[in-house]
Amino acid sequence: MTLSKHYLLLSELSDMNCKVPFHPFHMQGVNQELSEVLNQLWRLDTNRLKPGTDYRISLQGRAGYVAQGSHHARDRARAPLFSYVNEDKLKSIETYAHFINLLDNYEMSTGVSETVTSEELRENHLFLDAILETDVMKHAHKYLVSKGQSPSDQTQFKRQLYDIWFRLYHRDRSGGQDSCGFEHVFVGETKSGQEIMGLHNWVQFYLQEKHDHVDYKGYKARDNKDTPDEDDHVLNLQFSWKGLVKPVGGSFIGVSPEFEMALFTILFLISTEKMTSEVVKVDEYVMELVVYRHGRSIGTSFPKLLSSNNRDL
């Protein structure tokens, strides 16, 4: 593992306020079985939006180094990341529509207890019901049952998904139940008003950017040989959110919420380690997938693009 790769991982996992062991062996070789399963999910993801048609991104400049906790970053991107998103299409797809309804259900800061209203509880269940009807989640469920990691009964599987993603827990020890996996990964949180944690979802990024809460600072790449393309579905980004800077955050672009939920649920359940890191090749992308567990729930999860189109491998 190069220092820059290790920095990307450390920067992300500082989200969890923990010490991350340096494990060079994480980077050795692609997990073939996991890659095969995830490629099946990729092929089944009919709700994935098409770059250049359903949305357009503008990568602009390559972002520089920024220390964690910094409030300033040199802006290498004058324009937003998303120059166009077909919102009508987005809202016409059931899983996206229910997903978007969840994005305003959380307190931004850790340490502030979450209150789940009956309406928010209903929205959580409607979202899970919608994704469970997709071929992506059906295939993920079938795979997890075959591995003995999930119950075959769909109601019990839904309960398992709820525990992994929506069950509240203490992230900041000074507060009450202030966080959950879904909030951290898909919505984003702040810690002590000093740093951004999570926020790895492209729909949330786009909507926050549209409302001038997010300012895209540029893409992150290890060197000039690995510059991303504007049709890439995985990116490493630098951005500010409500005045705080995220030095680097990995994100899928254009994929459906059910694809991300399925992928990270599988990664979470195939290991009992505190941190699970696997290198996979999905479509043309070689990426490192990372999941950090918080008891029976997800603490954080994100992709980190290593190479696209087999460049520089």
- For residue 19, tell me if it sits in a domain: no
- For residue 13, tell me if it sits in a domain: no
* Residues designated catalytic: 184, 200, 246
- Give the CA distances from residue 162 to residues 180, 224, 233, 247, 296, in Å, rounded to whole numbers and listed in that order: 10, 41, 27, 30, 10
Residue from 223, 222, 205 nearest 214 by CA:
205
The count of structural domains within the chain is 1
What's the rounded mean pLDDT across residues 204-215?
Answer: 92
Q: What's the token pair of residue 59?
A: 């990568």
Rounded CA-CA distance 166/12 in Å is 21
Q: What is the pLDDT of residues 264-295, one digit of tens each?
A: 999 999 999 999 999 999 999 999 999 999 88
Q: What is the pLDDT of residues 179-206, one digit of tens each?
A: 688 887 898 877 666 666 778 899 999 9
Domain that holds residue 168: 32-308
pLDDT of residue 13: 44
Whether the per-residue pLDDT at 111 is higher than 60: the answer is no
Upper half-sphere CA count for residue 39 (Cβ side, 13 Å)? 13
- For residue 226, tell me if it sits in a domain: yes
- For residue 15, tell me if it sits in a domain: no
- For residue 65, tell me if it sits in a domain: yes
pLDDT of residue 227: 80
- For residue 24, tell me if it sits in a domain: no
Local confidence band at 3 (pLDDT 50, 70, 90 cut-offs): very low
- For residue 299, tell me if it sits in a domain: yes
- For residue 92, tell me if it sits in a domain: yes
